[in-house]
Chain A
């Protein structure tokens, strides 16, 4: 975003709204942790809120909502390899339970 011709006031209003949203979502994250939910739903909910918060930061503070195509490509590859990285623990788990599945 070059910023040469953009409406700064509109952007500033958006930043303030996103800031308020992030603060509220932080309190929501903490409140969820006190609900004593089982691990599965607790992880799913906490990660969902974290993904929403992360998306707000990336889209509005990092201006990803209005970025060039090449940046999206770079991030697309990064997300792909990031999930490949997270596959490691899953494959390890499969390796652990694999012999049991065969028996």
Chain B
């Protein structure tokens, strides 16, 4: 059976390989998923009767913890792209030392884990105060948006963790492996991008 074409080489008509166009189409669908929830947030906020929506998100939420989480995700985005750059440097030099790649990728996974731990403490504090999604519309949309985002963090960490541990392909098909890391990176940066918008609308406004 023939291998699937254009997994590594670029198609002559689009200039993209299948993996690249696939991840961008997937991210487009993700934009619509979060877009619908952002629209729901605006609808709930604009339609809230006076006095039923918190004046600031920090009446319920912890801004310093969320700021720390923002720093974690931004740092993990830069370590992710550095992991890919480390691979490309090896490709250009014609060597196969994965040490730097592993360090950066491990940092990326660790920072994602740190983000989830802080989220756990944030959720625990809400439940301790008996603040649940059913308490009011603000908390409902807060839990839906951050919960869905948290699931994306877990998904990204699973893929990044796999690429950290399973590097066999680097020996047999290095460019394909580098493309996989780049694709996982695109998803991870998207997760960071979503948080960049969630942080001000939920915590600060």
Q: Which residues of A contact B (CB under 8 A)?
A: 1-4, 6, 8, 11-12, 15-16, 18-19, 22-23, 26, 29-30, 32-33, 39, 42-43, 46-47, 49-50, 53-54, 57-58, 61-62, 68-71, 74-75, 77-79, 81-82, 85-86, 88-89, 92-93, 96
Contact B35 A82 (CB under 8 A): yes
Once A53-B196, A86-B39 are accepted as A-B contacts, the answer to whether A8 and B92 lie under 8 Å apart by CB is yes
| Cβ contact of B16, chosen from A47, A68, A81, cutoff 8 A | A68
The residue of chain A having its C-beta at the shortest distance from the C-beta of B186 within the complex is: A62
The residue of chain A having its C-beta at the shortest distance from the C-beta of B192 within the complex is: A57
| Cβ contact of B67, chosen from A6, A26, A43, cutoff 8 A | A26
B176 within 8 A of A: no
| Cβ contact of B91, chosen from A1, A3, A93, cutoff 8 A | A3
Contact A88 B81 (CB under 8 A): no
Contacting residues, chain A, for B42 (C-beta < 8 A): 86, 89
Contact B196 A50 (CB under 8 A): yes
Q: Which residues of B contact A (CB under 8 A)?
A: 10, 14-16, 20-21, 24-25, 28, 31-32, 35-36, 38-39, 42-43, 46-47, 56, 58, 63, 67, 70-71, 74-75, 77-78, 80-82, 84-85, 88-89, 91-92, 178, 182, 185-186, 189-190, 192-193, 196-197, 199-201, 203-205
Q: For the complex of A and B, list the 4 residue pairs with the smallest distance between their C-beta atoms, beginning with the closest.
A: A33-B204, A46-B200, A89-B43, A78-B28
Output the least CB separation between B137 and chain A (Å).
Answer: 13
Contacting residues, chain A, for B14 (C-beta < 8 A): 68, 70
State A8–B82 Cα separation when bound (angstroms): 10
Contacting residues, chain A, for B92 (C-beta < 8 A): 4, 8
Output the least CB separation between B108 and chain A (Å).
Answer: 12
